Structure 1
């Protein structure tokens, strides 16, 4: 049976999604972006991956966030997205904002990770082929390389834009001093740093504590948050133990040691605040990130259309009272 040609929801921009200005740029990003780190690899069912991508676009999510080594296996998330592009998204390419990155381990040998010109250029060329794209909308240096001269990494980003392989560039997880150098270096070459991507959630406040958020704002750079639910801790998944199908049970990046008695106490207290707000804990955690204009967009992961829908509920109420924010801060500081 031949699959019917995909036709997106004609009201996709009227379904409640809100868009935020990305620093000092012409780009608007949806408050919720879809990340393909998990659940889009070759170990996953293509039909489910495709259904989630279609549903996301139908709901006004225009930004799809990838990286060269997303999967598993490495590269397979980009291959999956490339099949979705070919089968259904290609007519809507100009409505999509697609990112990829390079910096972490991708292939064996001395040229398969970090920030050299050879690695970044080669990786992006591979990513474009896997995704069936001529260009990406933004290409990130996925992590700061302490050994490669930063000028080499950043000049490669400049040249990638000038070659037309990316419209914009960004940096991910850079320490503050390196980020400041990057902002200045890129600006001096008329290639604005569009986005800083960082880990940020109620349990991890480093972007605000280290001044990364304010630094990005002062440089006209947007901030996009990943791991907004602390890999599932900021959900109701672990309120009553560890489910068999959870990330902790499967032995992934989230380890059993992360769910300490102290953390579980915090999760339960935060869940009470969320209930009082008429939200799930996950909805409140996402809304908390969007409570002001310091965050441009939040990258969520999803394993099903239903879970994606649940997370989208968060944008319905991103306003917090001073009392609610104080309560959340008090809970997070509990020992």
Structure 2
């Protein structure tokens, strides 16, 4: 690859990750990179996957897939644009599924295709590649692992505790139940999906999207070999803060951060990831203009702070953030 066509790896999950990934792709196109699919690899969180009504769902994979394909529902932030919910209503009539977890009809087509391929023996990585081949995404999508490592949340209810699937805690309860811990059973034995470690090793820059640090980026880095690959790559590693002016941009990541003892603060999240020189994963950290006063705190933990506009309000601002992240790596 030439200097004008860098090899970029993004670790991502959720709506923030999908918007950022699309922004990075736009930034590459603005640099006249013709084959962005060869330049851009996205390692996607699969910790929030689940089985529901007999089909396998991959919410983060689908959010990024649909966003890059331009078929996502930008209003809701998830699912397909213009989708209907007839099957979801019929499932409810049968008392099947989760009435508080909507499956759109077009979206269900994706889940059925995925489940059929998995049951035929395809790996998760192979399935994601098949799904991605439908549209010219301008990026290569890789799941973090082929193993099932669904996130479980242990919550406190009065004097007792119970454990829920992450999606029930997140979607049904809107993170209102106080979490004690998050776990991904089986993740210690899970291996990276094919191509993940090589992509990181060969990258010119590794970017941590402004995704939930605990349940999106956290599981990716917890897969054996991925954190080591990030820590040892010769490429600069640049993260983007998911916190602006003391508040999360979207969702309930603040509840997740509180549960692991991290303040909802841009500098605190940088400290949570840590500097590569100190055993962490970051070289540089983009924080919002609203948090410019925290730049010395980021620098104090050995991470280079870069103040930039972080709000991704539309395609143009997402592309500007993608460009800022590439520039932070000296590209």
TM-score normalised by the chain length of structure 1 = 0.36
TM-score (ref. length: structure 2)? 0.36
Greater relative contact order structure (CA < 8 Å, 6+ sep): 2
